């Protein structure tokens, strides 16, 4: 039985420490961006995003029209899928209201039926009054409302994220 020399023991210790150090370094290189991705939303306060949808006088009082806008947080490569829409109502001279087009049941785009003055969902028959409240069908809550502002005659909508708790 041969005993290990001091030189062999110290070389083994050195190699063990080196491999542990490299392992920790590799985990930090891979783990830091992943951790930052998940923690970033907690630290960064998002600035409100306003999207211009037209001139005030483009919209008749009493009308409900679909307006196209860019998603609040599109990915640089999103292209056409970075576009979304909202239903914009001009109620009075200066009062505008905007609703998400997404049904609050499972997210299908709702349609405005001018004759009935209702929003109808084609997927499972959800119905909303013109003020966005549920009139019938499976939607559990009113249509999501977006903030609207008029600045220097320009109408802007602040779209929000699509709720991720559909069906819960
Ligand atoms: S998605 Fe609209 S009723 Fe189901």
Structural domain includes residue 116 = yes
Asked if 18 and 87 sit in the same domain, the reply is: no
Ligand 1 nearest-atom number relative to CA 137: 3
* Ligand 1 site, residue 121, Cβ cutoff 6 A: yes
Number of domains, the chain? 2
| pLDDT one-digit tens code per residue, 71-87 | 776 666 767 677 889 99
pLDDT mean over 87-97: 95
pLDDT, one tens digit per residue, over 46-64 is 788 899 999 999 999 999 9
Can you tell me which atom of ligand 1 is nearest the CA of 103?
Answer: 2
Displacement of CA 36 from its chain's centroid (Å):
19
| One domain, residues 40 and 97 | no
Percent of the chain with pLDDT over 70: 90
> Closest Cα partner for 118 from 145, 140, 89?
89
- For residues 113 and 150, membership in a common domain is answered with yes
Residue 82 lies in a domain: yes
Confidence tier at 164 by pLDDT (50, 70, 90): low
Separation of CA 104 and ligand 1 centre (Å): 7
Picking from 96, 91, 123, 93, the residue whose alpha carbon sits closest to that of residue 110 is 123
**CA atoms of 105 and 4, how far apart (whole Å):** 71
Residue 120 Cβ < 6 Å to ligand 1: no
Domain for residue 168, yes or no?
no
Give per-residue pLDDT as tens, 114-151: 999 999 999 999 999 999 999 999 999 999 999 999 99
For a mutational test of ligand 1's pocket, the pick from 102, 109, 123, 136, i.e. the residue with the most ligand atoms closer than 8 A to its C-beta, is: 123
> Are 119 and 78 part of one and the same domain?
yes
As a whole number of angstroms, the distance between CA 84 and CA 68 comes to 6
Long-range CB contact pairs, 134-142, < 8 A, 24+: 134/104, 137/105, 138/105, 139/103, 139/104, 139/105, 140/104, 140/105, 141/104, 142/104
Distance 46 CA to ligand 1 centre (A): 30
- Number of residues assigned to the chain: 168
Contact in structure between 124 and 19 (CB atoms under 8 Å): no
- Considering the domain architecture, whether residues 80 and 151 belong to the same structural domain is answered as yes
| Domain match, 138 and 121 both | yes
Atom number, ligand 1, closest to the C-alpha of residue 138: 3
What range defines the domain where residue 16 resides? 1-45
The position carrying tokens 């069906």 is: 167
């Amino acid at each position: 039985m041969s005993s290990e020399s001091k030189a062999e023991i110290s070389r083994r210790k050195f190699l063990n420490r080196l491999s542990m150090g490299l392992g920790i370094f590799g985990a930090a290189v891979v783990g830091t961006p992943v951790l930052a991705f998940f923690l970033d939303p907690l630290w960064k306060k998002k600035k409100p995003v306003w999207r211009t949808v037209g001139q005030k006088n483009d919209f008749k009082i009493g009308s409900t029209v679909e307006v196209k806008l860019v998603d609040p947080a599109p990915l640089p490569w999103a292209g056409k899928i970075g576009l979304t829409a909202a239903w914009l109502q001009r109620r009075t001279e200066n009062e505008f209201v905007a609703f998400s087009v997404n049904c609050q049941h499972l997210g299908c785009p709702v349609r405005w039926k001018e004759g009935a003055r209702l929003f109808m969902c084609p997927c499972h028959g959800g119905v909303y009054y013109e003020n966005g409240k549920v009139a019938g069908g499976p939607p559990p809550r009113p249509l999501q409302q977006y903030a609207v502002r008029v600045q220097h005659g320009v109408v802007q909508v602040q779209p929000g994220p699509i709720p991720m708790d559909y069906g819960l």
